[in-house]
């Protein structure tokens, strides 16, 4: 369990951007001291196997769109959680990237806090979302390059009124992009 941890090194590492830099985490309960990329940490939340359809509560879709609309010139970002393959919770994050109009980055402290909350609520991490304020809501080259979570749907939003599909979801695996069908319930 993630009862608590301390980042020994790399506290300033924003892992969306600098995932290549290892972050050291102390896990008191396991008395382990691991060097790992934070994606392993995120995987510890426990993913269900993902198929080609992802279910999400309507109000969460609406909440994501509101988050994107709040910062029309910038990329919003955050995590999605739920259980049994249905997304029921949203965790909006602060985009701490130096150029938030073009990229997103969640500070590790905030991410780890969300991971703790997700675990405490007995939920699973079921998605990572961000918006593309200026363009098509399809994974960009850098999204593909940084698609470090092969089993996690990446939701990409377009706040543009003309967007035909304002919310889309993708799996990004080994440089390959597959769109998921979003079923809102
Ligand atoms: Zn993107």
> Domain limits of the chain?
46-184
Structurally, what CATH architecture does the domain formed by 46-184 represent? Answer: 3-Layer(aba) Sandwich (3.40)
Tokens describing residue 143: 């999204």
Catalytic residue among 17, 66, 67, 75: 75
Cβ 44 vs Cβ 92: under 8 Å: no
Q: Residue 66 catalytic?
A: no
- 16-47 residue pLDDT tens: 333 333 333 333 333 333 333 344 344 444 44
The whole-angstrom separation of Cα 46 and Cα 41 is 10
Q: How many angstroms is it from 36 CA to the middle of ligand 1?
A: 24
Residue 17 confidence (pLDDT): 35
- 131-176 residue pLDDT tens: 999 879 999 999 999 998 999 999 999 998 888 999 999 999 999 9
Q: How many angstroms is it from 120 CA to the middle of ligand 1?
A: 29
Q: How many angstroms is it from 101 CA to the middle of ligand 1?
A: 10
List Cα–Cα distances, 145 to 50, 93, 105, 148, 175, in angstroms: 20, 21, 14, 8, 7
Cβ 110 vs Cβ 104: under 8 Å: no
Q: How many angstroms is it from 88 CA to the middle of ligand 1?
A: 23
């Amino acid at each position: 369990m993630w009862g608590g941890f301390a980042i020994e090194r790399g506290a300033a590492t924003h892992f969306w951007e600098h995932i290549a830099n290892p972050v050291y985490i102390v896990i008191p309960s396991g008395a382990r001291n691991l060097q790992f990329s934070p994606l392993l940490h995120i995987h510890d939340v426990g993913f269900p196997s993902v198929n080609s359809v992802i279910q999400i509560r309507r109000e969460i879709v609406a909440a994501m769109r509101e988050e994107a609309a709040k910062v029309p010139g910038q990329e919003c970002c955050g995590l999605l959680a739920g259980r049994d393959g249905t997304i029921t919770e949203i965790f909006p994050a602060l985009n701490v990237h130096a150029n938030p109009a073009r990229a997103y980055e969640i500070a590790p402290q905030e991410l780890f806090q969300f991971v703790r909350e997700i675990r405490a609520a007995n939920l699973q991490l079921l998605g990572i979302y961000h918006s593309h304020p200026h363009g098509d809501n399809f994974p960009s080259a850098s999204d593909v390059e940084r698609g470090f979570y092969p089993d996690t749907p990446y939701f990409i939003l377009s706040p543009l009124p003309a967007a035909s599909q304002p919310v889309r979801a993708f799996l990004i695996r080994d440089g390959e992009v597959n769109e998921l069908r979003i079923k809102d319930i």
